[in-house]
Structure 1
């Protein structure tokens, strides 16, 4: 059997790539790139002491002056140029986003204020229409009144006493019988 025949299965890769390891490797590469930007800075090496034949000697890998060592540490703590540029760009980007968001917020406030004013105008127009409609209905109702003593005729006109034509779902037969009995024998005060 040939190994490169189409019936031969492809070799299975038993090693799966770990996404966390890939991420860490990528971060290490980026950090190495940032550190390469600051190659001109000398790393600080602390002084160490060693013993030779019982005598104590101090080895120096950095400056022996205390102030020079502090200055060198300060230089190491300074941000690399690439980080400083990134921070400035990020700050300007955030300021631009902040101003854009404030402008959008102000625009939304103006739009909301206009919509609220429009709603108030519409509401007052609707209220005036309702007032006018109610006044005309009241005037028509008062014009229909037949004078004192004709209250039961008005009630009879407003109520439908025909049980077959009643479109109400509730049983109003008791109310109907009470109104008819009150019409026939009014209460004496």
Structure 2
């Protein structure tokens, strides 16, 4: 057959050739990352197809490296960022402590002010009660003295004037009593003289 110039050797698959080249390139990168994680490989490269049906495959099936599928190692945090994070955490803790202290102070201050207000309110109420009690007792004594007291001539109209309401605004919805009011006031100022 060589006399005809035909060479029936197996052709290499371009895809397999590309994968082999990429695997070699990536193998160097993966070795630089020092990844030790093993991923079981179930992917097997397909067999190469030869041009002649009777020719045996030229290469054995190749297994793709599991390092191609592994995750890159997590990057370590830079020193400055780590220091900043620690300082920030300390500042947050200090602020939390300060806030708790201020809340405690505010609660104590509020309790003191509330106690002071209750004391002031209690004192004001006791003073008001005593003033009202004294005023009521004085009014009651006056009323009892007026009722039990002797009536001198000419004082009857003063008692009547005390019992009457002379405020003109209070009697807006009632009958006009202006004439009666004026008569009572005249009698109070100049009581009639009895002739004996």
TM-score (norm 1): 0.47
Larger Rg: 2
Q: Which has the higher contact order (CA 8 A, sep 6+)?
A: 2
